[in-house]
Structure 1
Amino acid sequence: MVASSLPAVLPGVGATDYARYMRTNELLALQKEPTQWVHPDELLFQIVHQSSELWLKLTRSLLSRALAHVGAGQVGAAELLVDRAAEALRLITEHLRILRSLPPAHFAVIRRALGNGSGFESPGWRLLRSATTELDIAFSRLLSSSRLTAADLYQGQPSDPLYRLAEALVEFDERIALWRAEHYTVATRVIGQGVLGTRRTPVDSLSALINHRRFPTLWEARTALTQASSQCVYPSRGQA
């Protein structure tokens, strides 16, 4: 027996409360209509990038909340939010992989419809960069107020809340690098190497961004600890 549908009670447009709350009429109207496509694979290309912007909007919100917790000294709450933001970046990276199935000849047709548009102009990534800068500054201040350097922190216990937050920030930074690596791989697979993107930017310039760090002090601390350990002189066997 099929249950009878209940009437919509929320304000908005749509036949059901689901449609009204999720605003599905507006959401599903944001893609080109089939009559507007220069190629049917435009739907794939547009949905991948639009959904990425939504995930990046969430990521920015999570990092903003984490920033507020860091400022209040609520380290554990900040860690949980940074972890969730890293998971969002993992999902963005995974769904980018579907563009590997886009034949180069098909994208060559789609590319003509993009104008000068480029992923470098993504508002989501622009806001993400500013969010990580703010979080890096706030975490550095938190360490300073605790009279610690990043190297001091990494010589402490991994169970320490500050240590755990530092590792969450490193994980998030690594997720950015993995996304950039995937982006570069997909781009070269679809349009090749040694060519210019839609903004007349060399596609190979994407590879230079992979090693860029948003939380450089936490990475430099690792280098400093390794260099310090390699300079230690250990007694040879038989010596007291």
Structure 2
Amino acid sequence: MANTDYEKYLNTETLMSLQKSPDKLVCHDEMQFQIVHQVAELWMKLYLHEVEQIKAWISESRFVEAHVLFTRCGQISQLLSEQLRLLNTMSPNEYHKVRTQLGKGSGQESPGFNTILGAAPTLWEPFKKQLEKNRVTVEELHDNPTRHPELFLIAEDLFGLDEQFLNFRYLHLQLVKRIIGGDVPSLKGVHAEKYLMRGLANQFFPELWAVRNEISRRRGIPIGAKSGLCPYPHGEKN
């Protein structure tokens, strides 16, 4: 029974009961596996809580308040990414012991992750209405950031939100390749690497990525795989 107000407020007794007891673990690393994923769901719950408030702040032209919460969401994405690094300390053999306990469950079923995929893109609609209200396009914001500085700030916040979550997804892909390999089917029977790679192509706000291409095109830079944006060869053969 909880003894202190701290324990009662945080419901620590219930919280600590949500992991397997040590005698029920299939291996030592299963405790880490459970905690990392449970904590990730909590961070995603907070992320979604902030996204809903950001949407309201943008609609109400409260851009400073929205910016603060964008910063918070960015930090949550970074925490999610850092947590994944903990799982790098698990060997492939240890993971496969844990995998036997998952049934057909997989990260594809994460309620927090899947809700974020649907919720984050809805931030575009209130931002789009603000653009229309101020009779300005995203491209014009970039051409003259000081004309609508707060809208430009929100545009960059939206891009950052998108970019940081894609970074998290990329690190997850690398973790999967490190632990189980890229050619192994997931517990849902799909090719793990191909499935996760497709996700990296899905941006929350494609308009904000497209404007980068347009700015480069206007500068006379050819757009495409051979555009020369990166000086490194990435393994291309001569």
* Cα drift, residue 143 of structure 1: 1.0
Q: In the alignment, which residue of structure 1 is the partner of 2:228?
A: none
1:136-157 deviation digits (Å, cap 9, x = unpaired): 1221221122111111111122
Partner of 1:28: 16
Q: Distance in 1 between matches of 2:122 and 2:182?
A: 35
Per the alignment, residue 200 of structure 2 pairs with 210
1:224 equivalenced with 2:191 (yes/no):
no
Matching residue within 168, 181, 188 for 1:179: 168
Q: Counterparts of 2:68 and 2:155 in 1: how far apart (Å)?
A: 12
Q: Deviations over 1:17-44 (max 9, x none)?
A: 1100111000000011122222221111
State the SS of the aligned residue for 2:207.
Answer: helix
TM-superposed CA distance for 1:133, in Å, is: 1.8
Q: Paired residue for 1:238? A: none
Distance in 2, matches of 1:16 and 1:100, equals 36
Given candidates 123, 126, 149, the residue that maps to 1:160 is 149
| Residue ranges of structure 2 left out of the alignment (5+ in a row) | 222-238
* 2:50 alignment counterpart: 62
Once the two structures are TM-superposed, the CA of residue 132 in structure 1 deviates from its matched residue by 1.1
What TM-score, normalized to structure 2? 0.88
1:122 to 97, 101, 110: 110
Taking the aligned partners of 1:153 and 1:100, their CA distance within structure 2 comes to 41
- CA RMSD across the alignment: 1.4
- Asked if residue 77 in structure 1 is aligned to residue 65 in structure 2, the reply is yes
Separation of aligned partners in 2, 1:146 and 1:157: 13
Which TM-score applies when normalising by structure 1?
0.87
Deviation by residue 1:53-93 (Cα, 9 ceiling, x = unmatched): 00000110111111001111112211111111111110110
Of residues 124, 142, 156 in structure 2, which corresponds to 1:136? 124
Q: Moved runs in structure 1, 4+ residues, more than 4 A?
A: none
Name the SS for the 1:194 alignment partner. coil
The code of the aligned residue for 1:111 comes to R
Say which SS state the counterpart of residue 209 (structure 1) adopts.
helix
| Range that drifts further, 162-171 or 131-140 | 131-140
Task: Give the partner amino acid of 1:225.
Answer: I
What amino acid is aligned across from residue 34 of structure 2 in structure 1?
Q
**Deviation string for 1:84-126 (max 9, x for gaps)?**
1111110110111011111101111110100111111111112
The structure having more radius of gyration, on CA atoms, is: 1
How far 1:15 moved relative to its partner? 0.5
Q: Which SS does the other structure have where 1:50 is aligned?
A: helix
Question: Comparing 160-169 with 128-137, which one deviates more in the overlay?
Answer: 128-137
Count, aligned residues? 219
Q: Please list every run of 5 or more consecutive structure 1 residues that lacks an aligned counterpart in the other structure.
A: 1-12, 232-240
Q: Secondary structure at the match of 1:213?
A: coil
Question: Percent identity, aligned pairs only?
Answer: 32
